[in-house]
Amino acid sequence: MSYFKLIMEKLKGRLSNVTCPVCHETSNQLTTKISQNLVLICPHCRALFVIQKE
Ligand SMILES: [Zn+2]
């Protein structure tokens, strides 16, 4: 397995696809931030939002 593939798989495990509640665009955010209920920034509209886990 190449280093590149290893890095990509590590990144995939740490990023989560979330939908912005303001503009409804999706973006990749750190899973750790989401699980800690930290404020995320939408890269599309710059809105600040928190993902509530169900
Ligand atoms: Zn947005």
* Cα 28 to ligand 1 centroid, rounded to whole Å: 12
The C-alpha angle with vertex 18 and arms to 25 and 10, in degrees rounded to 5, equals: 125
Q: Give the per-residue pLDDT at 1.
A: 66
* Cα 31 to ligand 1 centroid, rounded to whole Å: 18
* Cα 8 to ligand 1 centroid, rounded to whole Å: 25
* Cα 20 to ligand 1 centroid, rounded to whole Å: 5
Q: Give the per-residue pLDDT at 8.
A: 78
3-state secondary structure at position 49: strand
* Cα 13 to ligand 1 centroid, rounded to whole Å: 23
Q: Cα–Cα distances in Å, from 13 out to 31, 44, 46?
A: 8, 23, 24
Q: Give the per-residue pLDDT at 54.
A: 66
CA distance linking residue 8 with residue 20, whole number of Å = 24
Q: Give the per-residue pLDDT at 10.
A: 76
Summarised one tens digit per residue, pLDDT across range 1-54 is 688 888 877 776 789 999 999 999 999 999 989 989 999 999 999 999 998 876
Q: Give the per-residue pLDDT at 18.
A: 94
CA distance linking residue 17 with residue 3, whole number of Å = 23
Domain ranges of the chain: 3-49
